[in-house]
Amino acid sequence: MKNFVVKTIANAGALAVAIWLLQDITLNGGSTGRKALTLIVVALLFGLVNFVVKPIVKLLTLPLFILTLGLITLVVNALMLMLTSWLAGQFNLSFHVDGFWTAVLGGLIISIVSWALNVVLPDED
């Protein structure tokens, strides 16, 4: 359970950095508390997308992973971020990613920050 909480916090932090750095990834809302709650819900949604959908997409695109020496990972991460944005819209959350190239850059930022936070945060069960 603690591992789940740590990964959710890392996802939320990584999403917050991407929102802060890129103007085309937005998190609108009223108060700071509402934005923080929305960010946590979006982080949970992002974690769910990465847990359920990403392995299936990776399996289906395995030849492209081999052919591009793993660079297709940037595209897969961007698609997962865009799917999260779409799902957030379906749940009336105020999180939006505007455009594919923004999603590619955002996915790269999220991957780097999430990796760094997972190194720093404890990883016990």
DSSP conformation letters of 27-73: E--SSHHHHHHHHHHHHHHHHHHHHHHHHHHHHHTHHHHHHTTTTHH
Q: Quick one: pLDDT at residue 5?
A: 83
Distance CA(48)–CA(28), nearest Å, equals 22
Q: Quick one: pLDDT at residue 1?
A: 64
- Domain residue spans of the chain: 34-120
Burial (CB < 10 A; 0-12, 13-18, 19+), residue 2, is exposed
pLDDT in tens, the chain (125 residues): 677 888 888 889 999 999 999 999 999 877 888 889 999 999 999 999 989 998 999 899 899 989 998 889 999 999 999 999 999 999 999 999 999 999 999 999 999 998 898 788 776 65
Q: Report the Cα–Cα distance between both ends of the chain, in Å, rounded.
A: 6
Residues 6+ apart with CB under 8 A from 123: 3, 6
Q: Quick one: pLDDT at residue 123?
A: 67
